[in-house]
């Protein structure tokens, strides 16, 4: 199994960059204050942070268990316009600097739930998704997901979020956004480069497989 010490040097360097003060402060946020500020988030992301998968519409990501620094950065990117989403921007703009780190800390402490949207995928689709997530496809120069997102795709530091157990619809939407150049807030265009090498079937396959994988909390529970 791939371990952190085996990650490419560039990836490790990106995950250990000196972070701006507001991002470092995400680890100092107050989860109890964050619970109050996150009240505006529950209509989409649910009270337990589990989000929601919609087969025929927008899927809202699971936030529970994601790294606090990563969450704080995404909220900041929505505020600045570096990451675009018409629904998220007004909510992000409602939060002060302190509320951002508090909300990020609040969600990072929550236990993630199983992902949705991959339950009906065929064996063939899931097998293709597993190969892409774990090994990649070097014939198409597609790097595996876990090369950046770490063992079992549980995330590495504040740059690469855990994607195991994330909803399939949200993963598809983000890969398509990177593919189209509509999302560009990743370091060195790493995600954009990979997404542009994937076809529609690849995107849906890897999204279905990842949605079926246990999130970090479940892995901890089954450890002997």
* Residue 12 confidence (pLDDT) above 80: no
Per DSSP, helices labelled H in the chain are 9-15, 21-24, 31-37, 42-45, 68-80, 88-93, 97-108, 123-134, 146-149, 168-180, 190-195, 200-211, 216-222
Going by pLDDT thresholds of 50, 70 and 90, the confidence category of residue 84 is very high
Dist CA 159 CA 172 (whole Å):
19
Going by pLDDT thresholds of 50, 70 and 90, the confidence category of residue 4 is very low
| Domains along the sequence of the chain with CATH | 19-108 (1.10.760.10), 123-222 (1.10.760.10)
**Is 44 annotated as contributing to ligand binding?**
yes
Answer yes or no: are the C-beta atoms of 117 and 129 closer than 8 Å: no
* Residue 177 confidence (pLDDT) above 80: yes
**Is 198 annotated as contributing to ligand binding?**
no
pLDDT score, position 3:
41
Q: What mean pLDDT value characterizes the chain?
A: 89
Range with the poorest average pLDDT among 10-24, 63-77, 195-209: 10-24
Q: Which candidate, 111, 77, 100, places its Cα nearest to that of 26?
A: 100
3-state class of 60 per DSSP? strand
What percent of the chain has a predicted confidence (pLDDT) above 90?
82
Going by pLDDT thresholds of 50, 70 and 90, the confidence category of residue 9 is very low
pLDDT score, position 18:
47
**Is 149 annotated as contributing to ligand binding?**
yes
**Is 53 annotated as contributing to ligand binding?**
no
pLDDT score, position 19:
52
Range with the poorest average pLDDT among 109-118, 123-132, 210-219: 210-219
* Residue 27 confidence (pLDDT) above 90: no
At 136-148, the pLDDT tens digits run: 999 999 999 999 9
The whole-number average pLDDT for the span 13-30 is 58
The whole-number average pLDDT for the span 58-72 is 97
**Is 6 annotated as contributing to ligand binding?**
no
**Is 94 annotated as contributing to ligand binding?**
no
The whole-number average pLDDT for the span 102-109 is 98
pLDDT score, position 179:
97
Range with the poorest average pLDDT among 7-11, 96-100, 129-133: 7-11
Structure tokens at 106: 């609040």
At 86-97, the pLDDT tens digits run: 999 999 999 999
- From the centroid of its chain, how far is CA 76? 15
């Amino acid at each position: 199994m791939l371990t952190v010490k085996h990650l490419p040097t560039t990836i490790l360097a990106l995950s250990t960059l000196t972070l701006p003060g507001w991002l470092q402060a995400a680890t100092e946020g107050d989860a109890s204050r964050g619970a109050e500020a996150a009240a505006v988030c529950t209509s989409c992301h649910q009270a337990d942070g589990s989000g929601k998968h919609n087969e025929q519409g927008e899927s809202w990501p699971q936030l529970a268990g994601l790294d606090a620094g990563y969450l704080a950065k995404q909220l900041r990117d929505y505020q600045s316009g570096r990451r675009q989403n018409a629904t998220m921007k007004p909510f992000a703009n409602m939060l002060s600097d302190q509320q951002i780190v508090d909300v990020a800390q609040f969600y990072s402490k929550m236990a993630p739930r199983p992902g949705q949207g991959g339950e009906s995928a065929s064996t063939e689709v899931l097998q293709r998704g597993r190969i892409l997530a774990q090994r990649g496809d070097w014939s198409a120069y597609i790097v595996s997901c876990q090369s950046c997102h770490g063992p079992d795709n549980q995330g590495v530091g504040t740059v690469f979020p855990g994607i195991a157990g994330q909803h399939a619809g949200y993963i598809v939407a983000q890969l398509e956004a990177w593919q189209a150049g509509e999302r560009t807030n990743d370091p060195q265009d790493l995600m954009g480069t990979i997404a542009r090498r994937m076809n529609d079937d690849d995107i849906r396959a890897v999204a279905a497989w990842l949605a079926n994988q246990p999130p970090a909390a479940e892995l901890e529970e089954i450890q002997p």
